[in-house]
Amino acid sequence: MSVTETGATVWLTGLPSAGKTTIAYELAGRLRGDGHKVEVLDGDEIREFLSAGLGFSREDRHTNVQRIGFVAELLAANGVKALVPVIAPYADSRDAVRKRHSAEGTAYLEVHVATPVEVCSERDVKGLYAKQAAGEISGLTGVDDPYEAPESPDLRIESHQQTVQESASALHALLTERGLA
């Protein structure tokens, strides 16, 4: 009889340039090194394929998060650590994903990458904050579009006060504590 690996979804929510993708890939490397099966469902890739055609209205952002949540749950239910570095600005969208997981008995952790907007706009990896400031785009999460910060995440990461490695270690420790890694 083979031992079944416990899967889990780890959703990293936070503002653009908060560090979600960076931390997710650092954690993914460590988990793979430990022998776990891992998938990273990154926001940008998903929007190119699974959510192609969706925009950034409230409704489309909600649909995007529900689709990703659906796929993450399927992966997690089959022994994969599904790491999801996706903004997911609305609390009700995130709650619906959590409920889907609990209905299926699948582990779900919400991680708030709580980098302040001032730090994110300095990092500005994709140049979005500069474009918004120049009036070239609008609807930027945390600036002129809503971001509803999680009230009680499983973990809050202060990425402006620690290194990527420290953030990944904190997340890895949480997974271990919950019996998931």
Q: How far apart are CA 57 and CA 97, in angstroms?
A: 19
Partner whose footprint covers residue 125, from Mg ion, ligand ATP, none (CB < 5 to 8 Å by kind): ligand ATP
- Give the residue from 27, 54, 140, 41 showing the smallest Cα distance to 82: 41
Size of the site for ligand ATP (CB under 6 A): 20
Which of ligand ATP, Mg ion, none lies near 121, with the C-beta cut-off 5 to 8 A by kind?
none
Q: According to the binding rule CB under 6 A, does residue 169 interact with ligand ATP?
A: no
The separation between the first and the last C-alpha atoms of the chain, rounded to the nearest angstrom, is 20
Residue nearest to ligand ATP (CB): 19
The stretch near ligand ATP (CB under 6 A) out of 13-21, 51-59, 143-151, 171-179 is 13-21
Q: How far apart are CA 115 and CA 158, in angstroms?
A: 6
Is residue 21 a contact residue for Mg ion (CB under 5 A)?
yes
Q: Which is nearer to Mg ion, 21 or 121 (by Cβ)?
A: 21
Count of residues near Mg ion by CB under 5 A: 1
Handedness of CA 3, 85, 53, 102 (dihedral sign): positive
Question: Which amino acid is located at 42 in the chain?
Answer: D
Exposed e or buried b per residue across 134-173, where buried means at least 16 C-beta atoms within 10 angstroms of its C-beta:
eeebeebbbbebebeebeebbbebebeeeeeeebbebbbe
SS3 109: strand
Residue 27 Cβ vs Mg ion, minimum distance, rounded to whole Å: 13
Q: List the single partner that 159 binds among ligand ATP, Mg ion, none, CB under 5 to 8 Å by kind.
A: ligand ATP
Contact string (CB under 6 A) for ligand ATP, positions 94-133, x = contact: -----------------------------x-xx-------
83 touches ligand ATP (CB under 6 A)? no
Q: Where are the alpha helices (DSSP H) in the chain?
A: 20-33, 43-48, 58-77, 91-104, 117-123, 128-133, 164-177
Contacting residues toward ligand ATP, per CB under 6 A? 14, 16-23, 43, 85, 87, 123, 125-126, 159, 162-164, 167
